[in-house]
Amino acid sequence: MASSLHFLMIPLMCPGHLIPMVDMAKLIAQHSVTVTIVITPRNAERYGAVLNRAGASGLPINLLQLRFPATDHGLPDGCEGVDDLPTFKLSKNFYDACTTLQQPLEDMFNNLKPTPSCIISDKNLSWTADVANKFRIPWVVFDGMSCFTQLVTHNLCASKIHEKLTDFDTEVELGAYGTIINSFDDLETKYVDEFKKIKQGRVWCIGPLSNSNKNDLDRAQRGSKDSINNDGYMKWLDLQHDRSVIYTCLGSLTRLTPLQFIELALGLEDSQYPFILVVKGGSRIEEIEKWLDESGFESRVKGRGVLIRGWASQVLILSHRAVGAFLTHCGWNSTIEGVCAGVPMITWPQFAEQFFNERLVVQVLGIGVGVGAQRAIHLEDADDGVMQVEREDVCKAI
Ligand code: UDP
């Protein structure tokens, strides 16, 4: 039976933030707490299958749909997630559009029953703190990063080593009651302990959140209902030797330049191992497809290499016995999913805190090898990025 507790969850509409929040909603609801997750229509369609199934199984989960004013903010119609942006130069428009959800949410608040007891929201949605203040309920931040990263960031700021570290904003969550982290004590004990000290104990490591997907259908549809059409590559995986396949996916946002993509593909080819390579869209996808078409790459690796265009069921793939290594960009979700699957990692960080995660994986935990990426890519300029990793680097790391 549901208790009188009701948690209102407000995710950032970006796969790396929304997916763990969906997992978290299920986890919280399993403790008989009513959960309402604020979502927009297109995201409800994309992520709703898993949530609706959880609801149908008796978990007290509701979806509160709010219209997303994409076109009012210069975004294409139907663009409701960061990974839908035609270019990351429109990120500010996207965040501005998110801010406008505050008023309709406040208008709906009093209709929510039982009255919400707290708000759990993404750290990047600072306006949600105002909603919590207005309705006098605690605001708990979901921070999609590890405790290791929290400490690195904290120490960088405290030491003022680099005065211009504007990206490292630890002030945002100052008014929060506490912080939820997708991690677990045994993974980074020292850093969890230290971070708890800084936050007066109000840090809850409730991960690994991906473990809340108990069956293959939930694993298959995690992050996109469409990835149910994955029969082909799962059957191919069934034919491969144990721990032989290199699964390569650089997250939901990375868009490699054609040059960099070619080096990655050729590095995988040269490695002689079977592999899966997830190919994302982006503004230069036609050039990538043209190369794939004209270079003969796909016919050369036929049977040994599988390209997944679009969304891959990552957690399902990683749990397959045939996967032997994970070539990852070290997004925190991917990192912890790799850890849970027990596969060694080949690390190619791209942006944000991914370089810290690489340090944790390679230098602290000793469960990965880097390809040698040295410089962060700025998503907004990613299309103009220069090449920094060559096929030999990829092949050698594998
Ligand atoms: N993901 C997936 N299929 C894809 C790409 C990504 O299932 O084709 C999932 C992945 O399992 C992870 C999330 O999307 O849960 C990506 O989050 P992460 O923090 O690793 O990286 P980001 O996408 O934020 O850079």
User: Looking at the chain, which residues constitute the CATH 3.40.50.2000 domain(s)?
Assistant: 6-66+101-211, 228-397
Measured in angstroms, how far is the CA atom of residue 248 from the centroid of ligand 1?
12
Q: What is the pLDDT of residues 247-286, one digit of tens each?
A: 999 999 999 999 999 999 999 999 999 999 999 988 899 9
| Protein residue whose Cα sits closest to atom 24 of ligand 1 | 16
CA-proximal residue: ligand 1, atom 17 (nearest): 16
Q: Which of 210, 252, 343 to mutate to test the pocket of ligand 1 (most atoms within 8 A of CB)?
A: 252
> How close is the Cα of 351 to the center of ligand 1, in Å?
14
Which pLDDT score, from 0 to 100, does residue 382 have?
61
Class of domain 228-397: alpha beta
> For residue 354, which atom of ligand 1 is closest to its CA?
25
Structure tokens at 42: 């297109």
User: Is residue 383 within 8 Å of 257, Cβ to Cβ?
Assistant: yes
- The pair of structure tokens assigned to 213 is 């997907």
Give pLDDT tens digits for 337-392.
999 999 999 999 999 999 999 999 999 999 999 999 999 988 776 655 667 899 99
Can you give 208-276 as a three-state secondary structure string?
Answer: CHHHHCCCHHHHHHCCCHHHHCCHHHHHHHHCCCCCCEEEEECCCCCCCCHHHHHHHHHHHHHHCCCEE
**Token pair 């045939």 in the structure block, residue:** 322
d(CA 333, ligand 1 centre) in Å: 6
What distance in Å separates the CA atoms of residue 397 and residue 362, rounded to the nearest whole number?
Answer: 12
DSSP tally for the chain: helices H, then strands E: 16, 13
Q: Look at residue 394 and tell me whether its pLDDT is greater than 60.
A: yes
- pLDDT of 317 over the 70 cut: yes
Q: Which atom of ligand 1 is nearest to the CA of 337?
A: 11
- Which pLDDT score is estimated for 159? 86
- Express as a percent the part of the chain with pLDDT over 70: 94
Mutate which of 122, 182, 314, 317 for ligand 1 pocket (most atoms within 8 A of beta carbon): 314
Cα 305 to chain centroid distance, Å, stands at: 25
* Higher-pLDDT residue of 346, 225: 346
| Calpha distance 40→17 (Å, rounded) | 14
Query: How far from the centroid of its chain's Cα atoms is residue 167's Cα?
Result: 18
CATH topology of domain 6-66+101-211: Rossmann fold (3.40.50)
Average pLDDT over residues 130-148: 97
Q: How far is the CA of 120 from the centre of ligand 1 (A)?
A: 21
Task: Name the residue with the closest Cα to ligand 1, atom 21.
Answer: 331
Among 18, 330, 333, the mutation site with the greatest number of ligand 1 atoms within 8 A of its Cβ is: 333
- Paired tokens of 216: 């293959």
User: Which residue owns the Cα nearest ligand 1 atom 13?
Assistant: 16
Query: What does the pLDDT look like over 229-242, one tens digit per residue?
Result: 567 899 999 999 99
Compute, in angstroms, the gap from residue 199 CA to the centroid of ligand 1: 28
pTM: 0.96
Interface predicted TM-score of the whole assembly (ipTM), two decimals: 1.00
Cα–ligand 1 centroid distance for 357 (angstroms): 14
| Average confidence score pLDDT of the chain | 93
Q: Rounded CA gap, 397 and 372, in Å?
A: 9
In the chain, where do the E strands start and end?
A: 6-10, 34-39, 61-65, 118-122, 139-143, 178-181, 203-205, 245-249, 275-279, 305-309, 323-328, 345-347, 368-370
Q: What gap in Å lies between CA 315 and CA 65, rounded to an integer?
A: 27
Kindly give, in sequence order, each residue whose CB lies less than 8 Å from that of residue 363, ignoring residues fewer than 6 positions away: none
Ligand 1 pocket (Cβ < 6 Å) reads 15-16, 19, 222-223, 249, 251-253, 278, 311-312, 314-315, 331-334, 337
Q: Closest ligand 1 atom, CA of 254? A: 25
Q: Which two tokens stand for residue 286?
A: 């036609």
Q: How far is the CA of 82 from the centre of ligand 1 (A)?
A: 12
Q: How far is the CA of 210 from the centre of ligand 1 (A)?
A: 11
- CA 228/CA 258 separation, integer angstroms: 28
Above pLDDT 90, what percent of the chain? 85
- CA dist 55 and 48 (Å) reads 10
